[in-house]
Amino acid sequence: MLAKKSQYNVAVAGATGAVGRKMLEILAERNFPVANLKVLASARSVGQTLSFKGNPVTVEELNENSFGGVDIALFSAGAGVSRQFAPSAVKSGCIVIDNSSAFRMEPNIPLVVPEVNPEAIGSDPGIIANPNCSTIQMVVALKPIHDNFKIKRVVVSTYQSVSGSGQKAIEELQNQTKNLLDGKSSKPSVYPHQIAFNCLPHIDIFLENGYTKEEMKMVEETQKILGDASIQVSPTTVRVPVFYSHSESVNVETEKPMNAAEVKKILSGQSGIRVVDNPEKNEYPLAIDATDRDEVFVGRIRDDISCENAINFWVVSDNLRKGAALNAIQIAEYLIQR
C-alpha cells in the first residue's frame, strides 16, 4: 500500500527513450507531486541531462540498487529490462508501473486502464502493468459499450504510427521520405520493408497461428482488462507512414440490441473520450489532431449494415501519451488519490 504523503519520490526507468521523456513531460504538465526525481537508463546514457520543470536532471545508471527510498517507479525501458529490475524495485518498497509487455498477462498482476478497470489494482500492488498502446485506446471506447450491451465480438484493424517502434523508426520514416522524394534509394533497417509511402501488415513477430504478437496482445489484453474471456477479438495490426498517433477501425457486435445513435450518446458522456462525428462537415478523428492530446477520439459511429446488434467506429489516440506515458501516470495519480 502506498503511504499517504504530500509528495512522492519518483523514478523513471528508461528515461532517455521516447516514452520515458514523455513521462517526464507529463509529470510536469499534470503537476504530479514529486518530492525527488530519479532518471534512470543504461550505462551508456549515464551523465546525460534531461529536463524536468525547466531544471536539469542527471541520468543515473539503472541497477538493482536504484530504488532505495523511491515510492513509485515508472518503467519504460522494454520487457527484458523490466523483468530484470522491476522485482528489485518492489523489494526496495516501491510500486512499479510497467509500460512493457513483461508482466501484462501474469494472472496475479493487474493490467490497468484507469477509465476502465482501476479496481483491478487491489489493495497492495507491487507491479501494475500498462497495457499495449493499441489495446488501451480500444478498450476505453469498448468499456461503456460492454457495460450497456455486453460485447460478443470485436473485429479491429489498426493503423499504427512509427513512433510505436521508437526513435529509430521515426528517423527511418523521415530519412526514407526525404530520400525517395529526392530520387534516392533508401534501405530499411528498423522494418523489414520500406515504410515511407507504404503500409506493413506486420507488427512484432509472427506466431504459429498466423497472427502477429501485437495482434494476440489485443486479444488477450482486451479480455483481461474487460474481465470477460468470452469476448471474441479478431485483429489485424498494420504499421503506416504516420509519425504519431494510432488509428483503429473497430466493428463491435453485442448480445443486447443497440444502435449507433445510442452508442454515440453513451460515448459522448464518458471521461477520457471525445466524440468527433460530423461527417456532413468532414469532421472525424485524425491522427494529426490527436497528437499531443490526452483524449481518446471516437467518430464514424455507424450501424453495421451487414449484421444486427453491431456498429462500426473509428478511434484515434496519441500512442505515446494515452497509449503509454499518460496511462502510467494516471495509474500513479489513482494510487495517490486512493
CATH code at position 315: 3.30.360.10
Residues of the chain with pLDDT under 70: none
Strands 310-317 and 246-254: antiparallel
* Set 94, 199, 202, 246: catalytic member: 246
For residues 295 and 169, membership in a common domain is answered with yes
Give pLDDT, residue 3: 86
For residues 251 and 303, membership in a common domain is answered with yes
Give pLDDT, residue 186: 87
R_g (Cα) of the chain, nearest Å: 20
Tell me whether residue 224 is in a domain: yes
Tell me whether residue 76 is in a domain: yes
CA–CA separation, 141 vs 271, rounded Å? 10
Torsion angle of C-alpha atoms 114, 115, 116, 118, degrees rounded to 10 = 30
* Set 94, 133, 146, 202: catalytic member: 133
Give pLDDT, residue 338: 85
For residues 21 and 65, membership in a common domain is answered with yes
For residues 208 and 329, membership in a common domain is answered with no
Domain of 29, CATH number, reads 3.40.50.720
Residue 3's SS3 state is coil
Residue 31 corresponds to which cell in the numbers above?
Answer: 503537476
Give pLDDT, residue 193: 98
Q: Which runs of consecutive H residues, i.e. helices, occur in the chain?
A: 18-29, 79-91, 133-149, 167-181, 213-226, 260-268, 287-290, 326-337
Tell me whether residue 2 is in a domain: no
For residues 57 and 181, membership in a common domain is answered with no
For residues 121 and 65, membership in a common domain is answered with yes
Tell me whether residue 3 is in a domain: no
For residues 122 and 267, membership in a common domain is answered with no
For residues 199 and 84, membership in a common domain is answered with no
Number of folded domains that form the chain = 2
Residue 53 lies in domain: 8-130+324-337
Give pLDDT, residue 2: 86
Give pLDDT, residue 86: 98
Please confirm, yes or no, whether 146 is among the known catalytic residues: no
Question: Which one-letter DSSP state was computed for residue 114?
Answer: T
Please confirm, yes or no, whether 133 is among the known catalytic residues: yes
Q: Which runs of consecutive H residues, i.e. helices, occur in 150-294?
A: 167-181, 213-226, 260-268, 287-290
For residues 55 and 182, membership in a common domain is answered with no
How long, in residues, is the chain?
A: 338
For residues 123 and 162, membership in a common domain is answered with no
Q: Does the CA dihedral 135-138-143-148 come out positive or negative?
A: negative
For residues 105 and 165, membership in a common domain is answered with no
Tell me whether residue 1 is in a domain: no
